[in-house]
Amino acid sequence: MLTRPQIRYCLDQIAEMFPDAHCELVHRNPFELLIAVVLSAQCTDALVNKVTKHLFEKYKTPEDYIAVPLEELEQDIRSIGLYRNKAKNIQKLCALLIEQYGGQVPNDRDELMKLPGVGRKTANVVASVAFGVPAIAVDTHVERVSKRLGFCRWKDSVLEVEEALMRKIPKEEWSITHHRIIFFGRYHCKAQAPKCEVCPLLELCREGKKRMRGRNESAARAD
């Protein structure tokens, strides 16, 4: 695993590459962000934004979501994966927001996690982006990059990845680092075709060096 100075170097390089990293889910308030993050599970932000463009015109409050039959909401989000389950959870969480939180989205991660369909990652994103609470949400990009670079161990669970990053990154940088690592994973260190050959972190990256060795050996065999 990388040392703290090496991790610092990686974070600074990633910050240079993606200085404007931010949450790409389009929203106007904490409630819209919550709905968007629930919809984004196992789905791209781009597709969610396409759906919410119309969804957020039709539904503006928790009351709006529970005023329609479940089937109608399902149809409105049908192009999103797991849409039936997500529609059910959205109606349940809206009912809970009205009953227990006066229709407002709570700003506390533990309270957010009591809402149907809201796991730790979703709660971290909402707390961080909507309310400025320092948090690192571990999605597939953050997990992949952290393991490839050696910020944590290969065998670490999602929670262990989060805890490792929280230990090794200054608290005041948690939220921005979360966005930067996502951009790095989404646009550079991709799952299928990482850009190892032009990566400024190649010398520190165990996975990258292994991949480049494999490519060089393949090229040599082809010759």
Give catalytic residue positions: 121, 139
List own/partner pairs for 65-73 with CB under 8 A and 24 or more apart. 65/35, 65/90, 65/91, 65/94, 66/91, 66/94, 66/95, 66/98
For residues 49, 184, 152, 126, the Cα torsion angle rounded to the nearest 10 degrees is -30
Q: Are residues 179 and 21 in contact, defined by beta-carbon separation less than 8 angstroms? A: yes
Q: What is the largest CA-CA distance in the chain?
A: 69
DSSP 8-state secondary structure symbol assigned to residue 82: T
**Which residue, 51, 22, 20, 21, is CA-closest to 35?**
51
Do 126 and 37 meet the contact criterion of CB atoms below 8 Å apart?
A: yes
Give one DSSP letter per residue of 13-26, joined into a string. Answer: HHHHH-TT----S-
CB 160 within 8 A of CB 152: yes
Question: CA 116, CA 124: separation in Å to the nearest integer?
Answer: 15
| Distance from C-alpha of 75 to C-alpha of 213, rounded to nearest angstrom | 49
